[in-house]
Each structure stands twice: as C-alpha cells, then as structure tokens.
Amino acid sequence: MLPSSLRAFLSAHLRDYGMLLTLVCIMGFFQAVTSGTLLQPLNLTNLFLQNSYIVVMALGMLLVIVAGHIDLSVGSVCGFVGALAAVLMVEMEWPVLPSLAVCLVAGAIIGGLQGWFVAYLKIPSFIVTLAGMLVFKGLALALLGGQSVGPFPESFQILSSGFLPELVTAADGHPTSLAIGLCLVLAIAVKEFAARRRAAAVGAAPEPWVLFSLRLLAQSGALAGLVWLMASYKGLPTVLLLMTALVALYGFITQRTTLGRRVYAVGGNERAARLSGIPTERVTLLCFVNMGVLAALAGLVFAARLNTATPKAGLGFELDVIAACFIGGASASGGVGKVMGAIIGAFVMGVMNNGMSILGIGIEWQQVIKGLRQRGALAPDPRGRWRGAPVPGGACVSRVDPLTIQSMLLPEDGGANALRRPAQGSGAATCLPCGSGCVRSRASVREALKIKTSSSAAHCPGKA
C-alpha cells in the first residue's frame, strides 16, 4: 500500500508521468517488434535528425496555444523560408550568415504581421493563419518556379547534417561528444535537485523523495545510455545541441520570467489579465513573432537536411506540430501546457513514424494509427486541463471572473488600496490551492494575476 502523500502526488501529476511512461512503452514496443533496430546508433541519430524541425516548431506552437490561439501557417512558412534560403544562397550566391539572418527576419515579420491581425484587429487566429497557410504556400511555389532548387553550400548543410567536431581522436567512439553529453546529463540532474530545493523553500509540496530518486536515476541512466549510443556512431549531431539549447531557453522563459507567466495568464483568462494591467495585445503579438522565427529556423533546418528546397516542403508540418503539443498536455482553451510535454509529444509522434516505417507499414495506415493515437491522448480530459491548472514553476492560474476582479481593483471608500473579501458562492475570485475567497488589496490582486504567488495553500494570498 502506497503512503497517502505518495498517492496524492501521483494523482496530481498523473498526466506528467503518464506521457513519459507512454513514450517509454512505445519505444519498448517498437524496439521489440523491430528486433532491436529502433535503438541502433544509426537509427537513433536519424530519429533526431528527422524530428528536429518538429521539435523546434513545437516550442513556438506551445506558447501560441497556451496564449489561447493556434497557428496553421507554420508548415507553409517553413517551406517559404526554405525557398527563400535557396534563392539567396543558390541562385543569388549570398554568403550563408547574411542569408540566415534575412530568413530569420522574414520569419519574424511574417509572425508579427499575423500576430498584429490577431492581437489588435481581433480577427480569430484560425482565420488569419489559415489565410497565411495558403499565401505562403503560393509564395514558396512562386519563388521556386515550381522546381526544386539546390544544392546548398556545405557550410549551410552543417546546420542539420553536421556533427560535433572531436577535439580528441580515438580509434573507437567519439570521446568529445561522450564527455559533453555526460556533462549535460549531470547538469540536468543538478537542475532537478535545485528545483526540488526551491519548491521546499517556498513551502510547495515537493515530489516524494522515493519517487524523485527513482525518476532521477531512470532519467539519468536513459540519457547517459542514449549519449553513449550516439557517441559510438558519429557523435552528437549539431541539430541536437541546437534543440537542447532551445529547450533550456524556453523552459527558463516559461518558468522563470514575467513574460512567460503572462503568456499563461493571458491564456487562462484574457479579460482578467487585461484588467490586472498585463498588455495582452503585446503578449499575443510576441507569441506570434516568436512562432514566425522558430518556423523560419525549422525551415532552414529542413532545407539543410534535404540539401534542396522543394515546392512541397512543409506540407502537413502544422498537423504534426499541433498534435505534439496536444499529446504533450496543452489545452485547446489556453492556459495549460509545458515545454517538456511538447517535447515528449513530438518524440511520441517521431518514434511512431520511425517505427512504422521500419516495419514497412503503408503511409495510409500510418495516418490512421497516428489519428487514433491523437484521439486516445485527448480522451481522458483530466480535471483542470480545460479550465485552470498549475503553471510550470509552482504558480497557479484560476479562471477568475473579470467583473469580480474589476470590482476588487476599484477603490472602496476612496481608498486606493482598499481590501475586499469576495462573497462566498457569488462567482468571486478563489484561490486554487485553498479554494477560499481571498482578502486582497489592489496591489496584491495585480501580483496574483501576474502569477507570482506560490501554488501552496500555506502561501495563499488569502491566508497571508
């Protein structure tokens, strides 16, 4: 019989552990049915190369979805930027670095234009990005003249097909890649310990020590084994290092910055966030600009891998990217989602695609199986996923009634910071940890809506 604290923690984090276990089970299944081919060093390297552009775009799509929007144009933008890179580097013979800069700026402009329509003109993102999907698909076709353009310079191909250079020559293996990979595994373990210590310091319920130890050992062992396998082939791909840096960056942004918390607040309740002083239009605009830049980067990675730009590039990419976010736990209604969940979702899709290709399953049945997998992932609809849910890093977002927030922000009896206790049962603002109406001042309401309070009931503003 499990201790009550362990059962409570597992119940509260069932989806997080469930997605990770799902990925492990899928990998184990395909490893068995492919007679060990899935985890061969060559196939592992190909798995990362094949899914690198999906992972890159999933990071941007996660923020768009968390903010309560969607972007259907990412595949077309990806193909358009690849075509633009081909025109600049192959036909106009531009140097690689200026071409990369122009392509990324083009992605930012595209994202900013679409974000402006969504944020300031209040046109639904579905309509704006659906139009963008058609526009940029046509522009890519026009740039390439209906033909494939290539090959790219070798210095550009390194972006996707290159490997980490070795500082020490060895007859067997790649010691530099192995050392760097193991250092990254150690850094992840240290980060986990630091996060647990921070959670305990603010009074939040930390992960039970037994579960934390087992998870960390299994995680570190799996990552170390993965690094060793890849180091035994050609070393660490440069695109893997790029993905690792982006995951770390976006994990920091979503968990440790005001901008990241505001994205969750806007997706949780845009009206309440606006009343609290958050510039919701600017946050939405930045999410789409970020998505445009990452779609451009993914287009460059994909073009470098193919060593050519084709009119069909990017076709259907948006479906895999959106599916990865939803499989990873993002909510279609906004306000919910984690970076690591999106990454796990991307690799769930990638492992399934790779495993079914090894087994020789036809593309038509692959689509059917992936669709059923997507539906199965969304079927449970756990409590809190489509309403309010904890934000990464221990904060909480509640579906607060905007009228209640407005009344709490207005001065009472002429006092600029007058206290008000919302009446129980009247749709008043409540705190998710304790479920009670909170006595909050004007300043404390703004602090709560900026998502800077702890999710622990012991640190609830209403119990201060």
CB 247 within 8 A of CB 220: no
pLDDT mean across residues, the chain: 79
Instruction: Quote the tokens at residue 239.
Output: 């695109």
Amino acid 89: pLDDT: 93
When pLDDT is cut at 50, 70 and 90, the band that residue 198 belongs to is confident
Amino acid 396: pLDDT: 42
Amino acid 454: pLDDT: 38
What average pLDDT does this structure show over 13-30?
Answer: 81
Instruction: Quote the tokens at residue 31.
Output: 């490893």
Helices (H), 13-95: 14-33, 41-66, 74-86
Whole-model pTM: value is 0.79
When pLDDT is cut at 50, 70 and 90, the band that residue 400 belongs to is very low
pLDDT in tens, 28-37: 999 999 888 8
Q: What proportion of the chain, given as a percentage, has pLDDT over 70? A: 77
Amino acid 392: pLDDT: 41
Q: DSSP readout, 141-176?
A: HHHHTTS-B-PPPHHHHHHHH-BPPPSS--SSS-HH
The answer to whether residue 215 scores a pLDDT higher than 80 is yes
Q: Supply φ then ψ for residue 73, to 5 degrees.
A: -95, 0
What average pLDDT does this structure show over 29-53?
Answer: 89
Q: Supply φ then ψ for residue 116, to 5 degrees.
A: -65, -40
When pLDDT is cut at 50, 70 and 90, the band that residue 440 belongs to is very low
Q: Which of 95-104, 378-387, 395-404 bottoms out in mean pLDDT, i.e. has the lowest?
A: 395-404
Q: Which of 30-39, 192-201, 257-266 bottoms out in mean pLDDT, i.e. has the lowest?
A: 192-201
The answer to whether residue 424 scores a pLDDT higher than 60 is no
Can you tell me whether residue 407 is helix, strand or coil?
helix
When pLDDT is cut at 50, 70 and 90, the band that residue 247 belongs to is very high
Amino acid 407: pLDDT: 40
Amino acid 434: pLDDT: 34
pLDDT in tens, 272-309: 999 989 999 999 999 999 999 999 999 999 999 988 89
What average pLDDT does this structure show over 70-87?
Answer: 94
The answer to whether residue 445 scores a pLDDT higher than 70 is no
Residue with tokens 């005001």: 258
Q: Which of 66-75, 126-135, 365-374 bottoms out in mean pLDDT, i.e. has the lowest?
A: 365-374
Using alpha carbons only, give the angle 69, 71, 73 rounded to the nearest 5 degrees: 160
